[in-house]
Amino acid sequence: NGGSSVATTLVESKEAVKDAVLEALKYDTEVMIEEYIKGDEITCPIIDGKMLPVLAIKPKGKFFDIASKYEDGGADEFIVELNEDIHKEVEKMALETYKLLKCDVYARVDMLVKDNIPYVLEVNTLPGMT
């Protein structure tokens, strides 16, 4: 609740699940638990149904958490050249997701790429401009 990966925790053991859930419940009444996919994070900005260059996101920490997003030097973001086949699949998935969710004007589709397979993480309809 609130965006920016607030109360998002990377849980590395069964014993840590309870503490992570209790921490998340301080911010909302619902908690989402997802499998962690270790891969390369990318983001696909789309304006008026057209995709802009794909950006790579390289957080300094274990994942792109709130500290990585807002602390100076927390992450590097840069245009990335994907191989042609992966780029085509990423673009197809990003644009289909944008259309299926009836996004309008602009959005950003965040993905992870693992073993040359892209996975949609989320769609930001009000992406941060920081």
One domain, residues 26 and 48: no
Please check the confidence at residue 81 and state whether its pLDDT lies above 90.
Answer: yes
How far apart, in whole angstroms, are the C-alpha atoms of residue 33 and residue 89?
A: 26
pLDDT (tens digit per residue) in 57-68: 887 766 665 555
Contact 74, 6 (CB under 8 A): no
pTM: 0.80
* Domain carrying residue 28: 1-36
One domain, residues 56 and 112: yes
One domain, residues 12 and 58: no
Q: Could you give the percent of the chain with pLDDT greater than 70?
A: 82
One domain, residues 91 and 29: no
pLDDT of residue 1: 57
One domain, residues 79 and 69: yes
Number of domains in the chain: 2
One domain, residues 61 and 93: yes
pLDDT of residue 27: 82
What is the Cβ-side half-sphere exposure of residue 46, based on CA atoms within 13 angstroms?
Answer: 26
- Helical (H) or strand (E) element with 28: none
One domain, residues 82 and 109: yes
CATH of residue 108's domain is 3.30.470.20
pLDDT (tens digit per residue) in 22-49: 988 888 888 888 888 889 999 999 999 9
Looking at the domain assignment, is residue 129 inside a domain? Answer: no
pLDDT of residue 63: 63
Looking at the domain assignment, is residue 72 inside a domain? Answer: yes
Looking at the domain assignment, is residue 130 inside a domain? Answer: no
Please check the confidence at residue 130 and state whether its pLDDT lies above 60.
Answer: no
More confident site: 52 or 72: 52
- Coil/strand/helix, residue 59: strand
Average pLDDT of the chain? 85
How far apart, in whole angstroms, are the C-alpha atoms of residue 108 and residue 127?
A: 6
One domain, residues 59 and 98: yes
Q: What is the DSSP track for 31-58? A: --------SEEEEEEEETTEE---EEEE
